[in-house]
A = this chain, B = another copy of it.
């Protein structure tokens, strides 16, 4: 028996309570029970997104939400600014191009966060830019971009909206949709929301709805205006993923009971212990600045293949983490600590990394990272 642990940056573990909630008999999406359920989760999502805006629920994975956040706001020929600091920033650019937008890209070195001044400079030179696309947490590098500062920049540009991929951010660290002025915020079910993949969520500000009024791209399944018209009546335009929404109700109740500040503090505490444990074990964090609390990207030590670490975690210890993507393949490995995770997920991760590195011939003192995490998690518990 090899006991299995899911510590990838999505999907993340789902609690037994939520798995069982989703195993309840399916209800019909036009029945009154569904409308009641849907009304509750809509309110819960507004609380989670810290917004009074509509938060729309889509039956798709996160990329579907990203597509909706492009197709509904840009027309062919429109100008878009994309912050590309990793795999998912790159994806914003690809989606924008698919929908005919003229894309200006700010390339950010992988492992770095964007300088908000760079965004301000581009917007000043090109005020015709309709939308700025960025990640709150770039999953490929483990870096968080400062969406609060970016919103301060974009807010001053009339007619320009800020679109935030918060897929590995929302529910991990503070994202104040309304207070900061984030116009469109996208997330998915399989990250901090502790559900299987299959739902995307998109919040839309009044400023963004006004931009959407003029957009002329073909959106049908991801037509957010149509979804809004249905969802304010606690229905969906097309058949929703009912079981997932039953699970979501359970998750939102759990998060509410814990409280947003407590959730963020827990995630911060775990992420901090993970990072300090990594350093205490003599390893280097990949991010050069602004690490995301959702996951830790760790540089493979010289002479050790990052893919071998990732693979051995799985094969020897049953832990599914993640390797590096694209040019980082082999150079880094990534361990997530968002959602349904606690103290011992971090301790176990560090212990396993130490053991894998040792068995790969790397010189490491067993327990060095673990002890540091224990100390930090003890002190703050």
A residues touching B (Cβ–Cβ < 8 Å)? 4, 6, 8, 10-14, 19-20, 22-31, 59-64, 66-67, 70-71, 94-95, 98-100, 188, 190, 196-198, 217-223, 238-244, 314, 320, 322
**Known: A22-B23, A100-B218. Contact between A197 and B242, CB under 8 A?**
yes
Residues A6 and B23 in contact in the complex (CB < 8 Å), given A64-B60, A218-B100: no
19 A-B residue pairs with Cβ-Cβ distance under 8 Å, sorted by A, are A6-B26, A8-B28, A8-B30, A11-B26, A11-B29, A11-B242, A19-B23, A20-B23, A26-B190, A28-B320, A59-B64, A60-B64, A63-B238, A66-B221, A67-B220, A67-B221, A98-B218, A100-B218, A190-B239
Residues of the B chain whose Cβ atoms lie less than 8 Å from the Cβ of A242: 11, 196-197
Q: Are A221 and B63 in contact (CB under 8 A)?
A: yes
Q: Is the CB of A197 within 8 A of B239?
A: yes
* Cα(A26)–Cα(B13), bound, Å: 7
Q: Are B240 and A61 in contact (CB under 8 A)?
A: yes
Determine if A220 and B25 form an interchain contact, defined as CB atoms under 8 angstroms apart: no
Given known contacts A4-B27, A28-B320, what 18 new A-B pairs fall within 8 Å (CB)? Answer: A6-B28, A10-B239, A11-B26, A11-B242, A13-B26, A14-B26, A22-B23, A23-B23, A30-B322, A63-B239, A64-B238, A66-B221, A67-B220, A67-B221, A71-B218, A98-B218, A99-B218, A197-B241
Copies in the complex: 2
Cα-based distance from A344 to B70 in the complex (angstroms): 49
Contact assessment for A243 and B63 in the assembled complex, using a CB-CB cutoff below 8 Å: no
Q: Is the interface of A mostly helix, strand, loop or mixed?
A: loop
**Chain B residues positioned under 8 Å from A322 (CB to CB):** 30
Bound-state Cα–Cα, A352 to B314, Å: 54
Contact of A243 among B60, B98, B196 (CB under 8 A): B196
Q: In the complex, which residues of chain B have a beta carbon less than 8 angstroms from the beta carbon of A8? A: 28, 30
Q: Are A221 and B222 in contact (CB under 8 A)?
A: yes
B22 touches A4 (CB 8 A): no
Per the bound structure, the CA–CA distance linking A66 and B220 in Å amounts to 10
- A314 proximity list for chain B (CB < 8 A): 31
Cα distance A225–B223 in the bound complex, in angstroms: 22
Residue from the list B22, B64, B190 in contact with A221, Cβ < 8 A: B64
Judge whether A98 and B64 touch: CB under 8 Å.
Answer: no
Q: Is the CB of B196 within 8 A of A241?
A: yes
**Which chain B residues border A221 with CB–CB below 8 Å?**
60, 63-64, 66-67, 222
A314 to B33, CA, bound (A): 11
What B residues does A67 contact at CB under 8 A? Answer: 220-221
Asked if residues A6 and B19 are in contact (CB atoms below 8 Å), the reply is no
Residue of B22, B31, B63, B188 touching A22 (CB-CB under 8 A)? B22
Q: Is the CB of A219 within 8 A of B188?
A: no
Residues of B with C-beta under 8 A to A98: 218-220, 223
The reply to whether A239 and B11 contact each other, CB–CB distance below 8 Å, is: yes
Rounded to whole angstroms, the CA-CA distance of A24 and B98 in the bound complex is 37
